[in-house]
Structure 1
Amino acid sequence: MIIRHATETDLPTIVAIYNSAIPTRMATADLEPVSVESRLAWFKGRSPSKRPLWVIEVEGVIAGWLSFQSFYGRPAYSKTAEISIYIAPNYHRRGLGRQLLAQAIHESSNLGLKTLVCFIFAHNQPSLKLFETFGFEHWGHLPKVAELDSVERDLVIMGLRIN
């Protein structure tokens, strides 16, 4: 198992993993698949030294990814990043998200970060439990802010201060 920086040639697999999460209505507010082309600017906005995008490989196959995204896009928030984790369906429940999150927390200070935040649907109990296991706390609750297949869903904001 290897965690490494993503390359542009990984982008189709990253997008495929992301798109596989859309029909579950658990991890993303996108309702239709996204294209590789539509994610190119997002990919190019990643920086290995500031806002990396990592992939986790299992036996040479990309099984998931984690991204750091600048929070709120204002300079005063430069020490805070939003993180997102997506795991391919065939690799769920194998501890890959746990490994990616542990690495993210461990590397945060090297990336100049003091705070990590994430936004998780309230009905996504596996993700909430994962982040709670690593000490993330509930910092906010936005009731019924998303509508997925005519069902209104709550969003939980979780955060962790890096020591």
Structure 2
Amino acid sequence: MIIRHATENDLPAIVAIYNASIPSRMATADLEPVSVMSRINWFKKRSPLKHPLWVVETGEVIAGWLSFQPFYGRPAYHATAEVSIYIASNYQRRGLGKILLQEAIRQSPNLGLKTLIGFIFGHNEASLKLFEQFGFERWGHMPGIAELDGVERDLVILGLRLG
């Protein structure tokens, strides 16, 4: 298993993993699949030196990915990033999310980051548990903010101050 910076050639696999998460209504507020074309600008905004996009490979297969997203788009938040993790369904519960999150925490100071944020649905207990296992605390709760198939869902904001 290796973690490496994503290339544009990885984008179809990244999008496929993301799209596979949509039907479960556990990890994203997107309700319909996204296209590779619609994600090209998102991909191009990733920077290995500040807001990287990593893939985790097992053998020759991209099994998951982690993205650092700029937070709120204002200069004063330059040392804060949102972290998103997506693991292919057939690779879940193998510890890949833990490995990616641990590496994100370890590398964050090298990226100039002091704070990591996670936005996780309140019903996504596995992801909440993962982030909390690494010291993320619940910094916010937005009740009923998302509507997924007619069901209102909460959003939990988790944060971790580094070093």
* TM-score interval, smaller chain: over 0.9
Which TM-score applies when normalising by structure 1?
1.00
Match of 1:75 in 2: 75
Q: Distance in 1 between matches of 2:60 and 2:101?
A: 20
Match of 1:122 in 2: 122
Match of 2:105 in 1: 105
1:54 matched to 2:54? The reply is yes
| CA drift at 1:24 | 0.4
Question: What stretches of structure 2 of length at least 5 have no aligned partner?
Answer: none
Q: Distance in 2 between matches of 1:110 and 1:38?
A: 30
Q: Distance in 2 between matches of 1:100 and 1:78?
A: 22
Question: What stretches of structure 1 of length at least 5 have no aligned partner?
Answer: none
Superimposed CA distance per residue, residues 82-114 of structure 1 (whole angstroms, 9 cap, x where no aligned partner): 000000000010000000000000000000000
Q: Distance in 1 between matches of 2:95 and 2:69?
A: 23
| CA drift at 1:59 | 1.0
> What fraction of aligned residue pairs are identical, expressed as a percent?
74
Residue aligned with 1:23, SS: coil
Report runs of 4+ in structure 1 exceeding 6 Å deviation: none
| CA drift at 1:60 | 1.5
Q: Distance in 2 between matches of 1:95 and 1:33?
A: 26
Which TM-score applies when normalising by structure 2?
1.00
Q: Distance in 1 between matches of 2:159 and 2:54?
A: 20
Residue aligned with 1:35, SS: coil
Superposition RMSD on alpha carbons, in Å?
0.3
